[in-house]
């Protein structure tokens, strides 16, 4: 795992304490945090960081392809540090969003869709995560 400073420099984004705090949380996250989640956690390292800066930084990272915004929750977008193609499973009870590897599922029939030029797609599944022992 590269550190935040290296990542920001490699993308041509000037590193600031605020941006470093945001990157350190969101790119290492294994969940799908909302902007509010990122704000809360970033303030532990950088207590004065503002909501606007968090949004600016997250949108900058998304524009650079380091993360992807996903429309999976009602009312708010979530930020996904896994920017590669994959599917999602959403737990009915908890709302937790799980990544499903791209290779786990196959979708057939896309090529037959006339009138639609598909740029990207994903399967969204909902249900319950079974108890693990």
Partner DNA sequence: TTTTGTTCTTGACACCGTCTAAATTTAAAA
Partner DNA sequence: TTTTAAATTTAGACGGTGTCAAGAACAAAA
Count other Cβ atoms within 10 Å, centred on residue 56: 14
How many chain residues bind a second copy (CB under 8 A)?
Answer: 38
Least CB distance from residue 25 to DNA, whole Å?
Answer: 14
Segment 76 to 95, residues that bind DNA, using CB under 7 A: 76-77
Least CB distance from residue 51 to a second copy, whole Å?
Answer: 15
User: What gap in Å lies between CA 110 and CA 133, rounded to an integer?
Assistant: 38
Least CB distance from residue 51 to Mn ion, whole Å?
Answer: 15
Q: Is 120 exposed, middle or buried (0-12, 13-18, 19+ CB in 10 A)?
A: exposed
Segment 32 to 61, residues that bind DNA, using CB under 7 A: 34-36, 46, 48-53, 55-57, 59
Question: For residues 78 and 131, which CB has a smaller minimum distance to DNA in the complex?
Answer: 78
- Cβ-contact 34, 73 below 8 angstroms: yes
Member of 12, 48, 65, 74 binding a second copy (CB under 8 A): 74
Least CB distance from residue 72 to a second copy, whole Å?
Answer: 7
User: What gap in Å lies between CA 6 and CA 59, rounded to an integer?
Assistant: 19
Q: Is 2 exposed, middle or buried (0-12, 13-18, 19+ CB in 10 A)?
A: exposed
User: What gap in Å lies between CA 8 and CA 19, rounded to an integer?
Assistant: 8
Question: For residues 16 and 69, which CB has a smaller minimum distance to a second copy in the complex?
Answer: 69
- What residue ranges bind a second copy (CB under 8 A)? 71-77, 89, 92, 98, 100, 104-110, 112-130, 132
């Amino acid at each position: 795992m590269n550190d935040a400073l290296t990542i920001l420099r490699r993308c041509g984004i000037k590193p600031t304490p605020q941006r470093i705090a945001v990157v350190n949380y969101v790119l290492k996250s294994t969940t799908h945090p909302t902007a509010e989640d990122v704000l809360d956690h970033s303030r532990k390292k950088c207590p004065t960081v503002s909501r606007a800066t968090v949004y600016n930084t997250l949108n900058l990272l998304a524009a650079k392809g380091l993360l992807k915004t996903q429309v999976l929750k009602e009312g708010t977008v979530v930020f996904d540090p896994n920017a590669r193609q994959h599917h999602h499973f959403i737990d009915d009870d908890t709302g937790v969003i799980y990544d499903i590897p791209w290779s786990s599922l196959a979708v057939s029939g896309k090529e037959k869709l006339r009138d639609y030029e598909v740029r990207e797609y994903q399967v969204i599944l909902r249900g319950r995560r079974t108890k693990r022992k």
